[in-house]
Amino acid sequence: MNKLIRRIVIVGGGSAGWLTAGILAAEHSAASGTGVQVTLVESPDVNPIGVGEGTWPSMRHTLQKMGVSETDFIRECDAAFKQASRFDRWVTGTKDDSYYHPFTPPHGFGEVNLVSQWRALAPDQPFAEVVSHQPHLCANGLAPKQITAPEWAAVANYAYHLDAGKFGLFLQKHCVEKLGVMHILDHVKGVKSADNGDIESLLTEAHGAIEGDLYIDCTGFSSLLLGQHFGVPFISLKDTLFCDTALAMQVPYPEPDSPVASVTISTAQEAGWIWDIGLPTRRGTGYVYSSSHTSDDEAERVLRDHLQDFDGNARKISINPGHREVFWHRNCVAVGISAGFIEPLEASALALIELSAAMIRDELPVSRQAMEIVSERYNERFRYRWDRIIDFLKLHYVLSQRTDSDFWLDNRKPETIPGHLLRLLELWRYRPPSRRDFHELEEIFPASSYWYVLYGMGFEQAEVDQKRSDDPMLARQFFEENSNMTEKYIRGLPSNRQLIDHMVKHGIYKI
C-alpha cells in the first residue's frame, strides 16, 4: 500500500486517451526521464469513435498548458472558432424561435439584477442580446479576436469546433514527440490481477505484460478495465434523457470561401434535435433522437430534409445514456466514454475529459495508500458533476412549450425530471439563479449559463421578482455599455473565415 505511483498506463487512444496523456505528461515531466512515466496502449485496429467536434473555452488553456501552438492546432485539426450555442425551434417550434447561449457571462452579472431590468426595459428583445455582445458577433459570423492578436488571446471568450479524428492524431504526435509519452500499438488480450485485487499488468499480444501503478481506462463504450474487468455497474439515464441514437453526416460547403459559423447550431425536431458544426473545410451535422419516439428510417428522412436532400452517407451511432456508478475503483480510473456518455447537447464530453485528466493531474497520489483518499474525492466530485450536467441538459427539454409530439410532452412529465432540478426551478420562480445555488468552485455550468437558457426559453417568474429591481440605473448602464461594446467589436473584428484563413496561410503571433 505504500508503493509509489510512478508509472501511469493509459488504455485507448482517441481524444480521451491522448488528451489525458498530454495533460498528465506536461505537468509531471514525463519527457525528462525523472518524472512520472506515461504509457499509452491502443489497438492498431480500433478507430476512435470521437466524442464530438465541439469544445468549451477550457480547451484553450488545456492546449496552451500542454505547449501546443494554436496555429498548428488550427491548421492540422481543421479547427474553427466557436463562441456560443444557438438553439432553434426549442421553445415553440416556429421558424423564428431562436436563442443563444454565449460563452461570455452577461455584462454586469453578479452586480445587479439584470433580469428584472431586462423585463422592464427591453422585454421584446432577446435576453442574451441585451446583456451580451457575443450573440451579435455570432449573428454576423465574426471571429473572437483580431488578426493581429497573439495566440490564445481574445476580446470575446471562445472555444473550438474541430475534426475529432484529426485532433486525436495531432495530440498523439505532440505527446510522443514533445512530452515523452510512450506509445504502444498492441492488442490487450487480458488483465492480470494483483493479490490485493488491483490491476497488476495488462497482457498484450506482442509486448507481453505491461505494468503500471495507475491505469486509466479510455477504451470507450467497451470500458475494458472499469466495466468489464472490475464489473463496476452502469447507471442508465434513459428515463431522464431519452435520446439514444445519432445519425451523423459530413456536408461540404457550396463554395471554398463559404462563411464558417461561429456557433454550434441545434435545431429541435419532433423526436430530438439536429446539430450543425462549421469547420473550415466542411460542416459536421447529424440528428440525435429517441428511438422510442421515431424510427431510424424516419430520422434519416428528417435529417435529409433538413439538409435539403443531401445525398451523402449517414453513419449511425448508438448511445447508451448513462455513467458508471463510480469512476475510480482501486488503481483504475475511467476517462471519457468508458466513464459515461450522454447526448452531445452543450458539448460536455470533451470538457469532462479535460476536467477528469486535470483532477488526476492535480491530485495524483504519491502512493497507493494515498490513492484511497484521492479516489474517494474524485468519485464524489464527478458524481456531482454528472448530476449537474444531467440537470442542465434536461432543463432545455423541461422549458420547451412544444406540444407537437410525444417526445416533447414526455420530456416534461415530472417523473422524468431530476428532483434537484425541480427544486431549483421552483426557487427560480422568485429570483434568478445565483452562485449560491451551486457549491463547486469549478461548476460545470455556472449560474450565468442557467440565465441564458431560462430566459432564452421564456421562463416566467413570479411578480415578486419584478419588484426587486436592485439598481435600475446601474442595470441601464450595463445595457448601454454592452451596446457600445457590440458596435465596437462589429466594426473591428474580421469574419471567422478571414481569421481562420489568415492563420492557415500565415500563422499569428505567439505569446
Residues tagged active-site: 82
Cα–Cα distance for residue pair 4/366, rounded to 1 Å: 6
In this structure, the strands spanning 37-42 and 98-102 are unpaired
- Going from the C-alpha of 274 to that of each of 251, 286, 288, 344, the distances in angstroms are 13, 5, 6, 11
Give the phi and the psi of residue 104 in degrees, each rounded to 5: -90, 130
In this structure, the strands spanning 159-161 and 7-11 are unpaired
Q: Is 71 exposed, middle or buried (0-12, 13-18, 19+ CB in 10 A)?
A: middle
How many other CB atoms sit within 10 Å of the CB of residue 222?
A: 13
Q: Could you tell me which residues come within 8 angstroms of residue 424 by beta carbon, excluding any fewer than 6 positions away?
A: 391, 433, 437
3-state secondary structure of 420: helix
How many other CB atoms sit within 10 Å of the CB of residue 150?
A: 12
Convert 338-368 to b/e letters by CB count within 10 Å (16 or more is b): bbbbbbbbbbbbbbbbbbbbbbbbeebbeeb
Counts of helices then strands in the chain (DSSP H, E):
16, 21
Cα 54 from chain centroid (whole Å)? 6
Reference 25, options 8, 42, 12, 41; nearest CA is: 8
- Going from the C-alpha of 172 to that of each of 165, 166, 486, the distances in angstroms are 11, 10, 39
